Structure 1
Amino acid sequence: MRRRRTGMIAVVSALGMTAVLGGCGLTGGSDEVTLRLVAADYGDSAANSSEKYWNSLVEAYEKDHPDVNVEVSIYSWTDVDRKVKELVDAGKAPDLAQIGAYADYAKAGKLYTASELLSITTQADFLPQLAAAGAVNGAQYGMPFASSTRLLFYNKSLFADAGIEAPQTWQGLVTAAEALKADGVKFPYALPLGPEEAQAETMQWLLSGRGGYTDPNTGSYVLDSDENVETFDWLKSELVGEDLVGPVEPKSLDRADAFEAFTDGDVGMLNGHPTLMKAAAAKGVKFGMVPMPGVEGPSRISMGVADWMMAFKQNGHAEEAGDFLDFVYDDENVLSLSREYDLLPVTTPVWDTMSVAKEDADLKPFLDALPTSELYPVGRTSWAAVNAAIKQKIGRAVAYGGDPATVLRELQATAATEENAE
């Protein structure tokens, strides 16, 4: 049975305004405990800010919890990780943080493990590969909060005009791109290897080429593996070299710009996540989604990503934080978050529900890809530096005069140095 305790919650916006949702203030009786949570904003406007989600959660929790105050401070994704770091460095760590990475804090001994916080039921509900990605040296510190996968989006109208179908193989992708180019499409395949999010596009291609960032058996970095070099050799010669990626060099094309071009109807194909669906539909773009093409057929492994919840030890509120998190991960609340922001669920019961629900049919291709997805090696403190290096350098691998093997060897050298320092 999941634990329940009494409490009251206040929500603190990024602007510093506090809305107290209860009959008493933040400084009640001596037995009261205040939990402070810093959270990221999943909304794209004031109307659907994550404050809406947390307010709803607050109201439900407050009914039965008069002895625990929870202050939720919401920041944009641009600011939230930096804000948490500033608080930790200043000796004022929040009790809970919902941000993009946890490994550095875990390595420094600042976090509770999931087993020190959550009920057995809550911990067992996490999708296995997400729980595994939240572990450092076998202990789970990062609790997945939201997830996503990537699929190949294609413009149905442009494909119909060119008389082609969605590709299933690399060769099929080239054939489609050639037809789109001949039909005057600006970006037959958009290849965003610019510094914004090059690590995502890179990983999707590596997985489709039977490679990846790490060895699945040892966990060590293998960026310059034969499979990875072959993948980027192919990208450079067959896509970039044949002028099938559009007028912007991949090293200068960011993901946001590629998405915007897709919603403008200028892109035939690109890798995308669920939020692209709403943006494209809002502009009237008719699109389809298929698994990433592979060498001989659709890739069996998609790239997955997750955002993380973590609990800091500093204030000693393990029991209260754990009880609140049990509530946060209640099926109803996970489902509400996923549907409100077009996110994928992080728990098996909610994945089961959404996989068959008619109202979640648009997300089904992403839901189907989630159980077999592979995530970044976020449990390694070295990943932050490796990630930064990929963003900075990988675009050179497919540039004119570039050499994929050389660039991947440089990245592997960086990874090995960081790995040895862990």
Structure 2
Amino acid sequence: MKNRFLVGSAVFVSSLAFVGCGMLPGEDDKVITVWLMKDSVSGAYLDRFTEAYEKDNPSVELEVKIQEWTGIGKKVMAALDSENPPDVIEVGNTQVAQYAESDGLRDLTLESVRDLGSEDWLPGLAEPGSINGSQYGIPWYAANRVVIYNKEIFAEAGIEELPRTRDEWLDMTAELDKGSRQGIYLAGQDWYTLAGFIWDEKGELAAESGGEWEGRLNTPAAIRGMEFYQELQALGDGPKDSDEVTPVQEIEFAKGDIAQMIDTPNSAVQIEEKNPALKGKLGFFPIPGKTAAKPGSVFTGGSDLIVPKNSSHRSAAVDVVKALAGEKWQTDLAKTMSYVPNKTTLADAIQGHEATSAMAAGAAQGRATPNSPKWANVELDNPIKRYMTAVLQGEDPEIASEVAVAEITAALR
């Protein structure tokens, strides 16, 4: 095994590196450089994957370089514009459109359709990777929000059945919201959660029309999503004018008087660290949908894998992507990192894991942010957050939405 894991300018040689390798690389050997993001996978996973891959492909040496999320956009854009980019890059699923606009990505449509079973991919990973009918990003892993609940508070309230519809959820949360106890902690500017409610109503945050992107928060469907958010948010004491990190909602939940919150399951670890008395008392269920037929829509976060057009080893790079996105290493990744695998057909890999199974159920209804290369402009000074606060503080949603739509549209033009 010949791999080297690099972080910044420092070189870390894997404990398995070069073991059993008695020869220098030959003329046909290829060094495939892979950029992965910090904390996406464990060192043990990388060791297993690299050892197995290099054993099966003796002419390939994998060189994995770990990247920081901060500033990664500019770094990737510079790499795509260079003559010697890395061969494979992990990117956030919502970043693919921005990189594809640079014309620096390899079109992976043929490989994804023929070899990777793209019909079963999670939509929240696959759709952002597809630009104008071409697949540039190959889904790698996903994570999304679920409802985290305090089992002890549910038991004290006599609640035995978890809700499967929005109406059931509202009724149950109202029952929990009594005395000094909060039915749910939902910050007023949790716009990712709002997006799911809007999608359930068949609305959009923004959409493309006539080749131009425009905001869509003013449609009846989007307003219905905001009205549901308003009903739910009122069943707790979450702030109306800040998001879920001000104050940090895990710290609030750890105080022990909140029945539910909405976040990714790994938040439970932080909650238990803040309040060890809650260890073993936290449960998880998918965000309920409008009917019991399926869970509610959720924003899917996660990563796709891309191959730069200027890669010196494009075919070999695609083979590495196929391995990482294939069933064997997707199953390993899901079990190792508690991620949702990239296909709905791999749900058995996380069977028996309450938190990850709840995520996977929601991920089947997952979506990503609007697939505009300029969507990052919206998030820089997010008008959706201001819109939410305005409505929660009493402004007419139709009037408030018009202001937000104008700002979103301007950011996307």
So what's the TM-score if we normalise by structure 2? 0.81
Q: CA deviation at 1:36?
A: 1.7
Amino acid at match of 2:29: E
Q: CA deviation at 1:366?
A: 2.7
Q: CA deviation at 1:387?
A: 3.6
Match of 2:319 among 323, 326, 350: 323
Call closer, same or farther: CA 1:336–1:91 in 2, change over 3 Å.
same
Counterpart mapping for 1:317-356 below 5 A? 317-351=313-347, 353-354=348-349
Which residue in the other structure is 1:411 paired with?
404
Match of 1:139 among 134, 155, 158: 134
Which residue in the other structure is 2:57 paired with?
65
Which residue in the other structure is 1:42 paired with?
39
Quick check: 1:155–1:268 contact (8 Å CA) kept in 2?
yes
Match of 1:114 among 108, 113, 122: 108
Deviations 1:351-378 (A, max 9, x none): 3x326x44x455333323333333333x
Counterpart mapping for 1:15-414 below 5 A? 16-19=10-13, 21-22=17-18, 28-42=25-39, 50-78=42-70, 80-81=72-73, 83-85=75-77, 87-88=79-80, 93-100=85-92, 101-115=95-109, 120-124=114-118, 126-127=120-121, 129=123, 130-164=125-159, 166-170=162-166, 172-185=168-181, 187-194=182-189, 198-214=190-206, 221-236=215-230, 238-239=231-232, 242=234, 244-246=235-237, 248-254=239-245, 257-279=248-270, 283=276, 284=279, 286-294=281-289, 300-305=295-300, 306-351=302-347, 353-354=348-349, 357-358=351-352, 360=353, 362-377=355-370, 379-388=371-380, 389-390=382-383, 392-414=385-407
Call closer, same or farther: CA 1:253–1:182 in 2, change over 3 Å.
same
Quick check: 1:291–1:302 contact (8 Å CA) kept in 2?
no
Quick check: 1:143–1:308 contact (8 Å CA) kept in 2?
yes
Give the secondary structure class of the aligned counterpart of 1:189.
Answer: coil
Call closer, same or farther: CA 1:172–1:216 in 2, change over 3 Å.
farther
Q: Distance in 2 between matches of 1:251 and 1:395?
A: 10
Q: Percent identity?
A: 21
Quick check: 1:126–1:347 contact (8 Å CA) kept in 2?
yes
Q: CA deviation at 1:321?
A: 0.3
Q: CA deviation at 1:37?
A: 1.5
Q: Distance in 1 between matches of 2:354 and 2:285?
A: 14
Q: Which stretch shifts more, 23-32 or 176-185? A: 23-32
Call closer, same or farther: CA 1:135–1:324 in 2, change over 3 Å.
same
Give the secondary structure class of the aligned counterpart of 2:142.
Answer: strand
Q: Distance in 2 between matches of 1:145 and 1:37?
A: 14
Q: Distance in 2 between matches of 1:383 and 1:128?
A: 21
Amino acid at match of 1:374: R
Q: Distance in 1 between matches of 2:23 and 2:140?
A: 27
Call closer, same or farther: CA 1:125–1:228 in 2, change over 3 Å.
closer
Quick check: 1:301–1:369 contact (8 Å CA) kept in 2?
yes
Q: Which stretch shifts more, 153-162 or 19-28? A: 19-28
Give the secondary structure class of the aligned counterpart of 1:36.
Answer: strand
Give the secondary structure class of the aligned counterpart of 1:397.
Answer: helix
So what's the TM-score if we normalise by structure 1? 0.79
Give the secondary structure class of the aligned counterpart of 2:340.
Answer: coil
Cα RMSD after superposing both structures: 3.6
Amino acid at match of 1:103: A
Quick check: 1:274–1:343 contact (8 Å CA) kept in 2?
no
Q: CA deviation at 1:279?
A: 4.7
Amino acid at match of 2:134: A
Call closer, same or farther: CA 1:361–1:235 in 2, change over 3 Å.
closer
Q: CA deviation at 1:256?
A: 8.4
Quick check: 1:213–1:223 contact (8 Å CA) kept in 2?
yes
Quick check: 2:197–2:225 contact (8 Å CA) kept in 1?
yes
Q: Distance in 2 between matches of 1:128 and 1:179?
A: 35
Quick check: 1:224–1:409 contact (8 Å CA) kept in 2?
yes
Match of 1:12 among 3, 6, 11: 6
Call closer, same or farther: CA 1:337–1:291 in 2, change over 3 Å.
closer
Q: Which stretch shifts more, 71-80 or 116-125? A: 116-125
Q: CA deviation at 1:39?
A: 0.9
Give the secondary structure class of the aligned counterpart of 1:188.
Answer: coil
Q: CA deviation at 1:106?
A: 0.8
Amino acid at match of 1:409: E
Amino acid at match of 1:18: F
Q: Distance in 2 between matches of 1:394 and 1:268?
A: 27
Q: Distance in 1 between matches of 2:222 and 2:69?
A: 30
Give the secondary structure class of the aligned counterpart of 2:262.
Answer: strand
Call closer, same or farther: CA 1:62–1:400 in 2, change over 3 Å.
same
Call closer, same or farther: CA 1:124–1:255 in 2, change over 3 Å.
farther
Q: Distance in 2 between matches of 1:312 and 1:390?
A: 33
In structure 2, stretches of 5+ residues that fail to align are none
Give the secondary structure class of the aligned counterpart of 1:38.
Answer: strand
Which residue in the other structure is 1:4 paired with?
none
Quick check: 2:150–2:260 contact (8 Å CA) kept in 1?
yes
Q: CA deviation at 1:125?
A: 6.6
In structure 1, stretches of 5+ residues that fail to align are 1-6, 44-48
Q: Distance in 2 between matches of 1:363 and 1:371?
A: 13
Q: Which stretch shifts more, 291-300 or 98-107? A: 291-300
Q: Which stretch shifts more, 394-403 or 153-162? A: 394-403
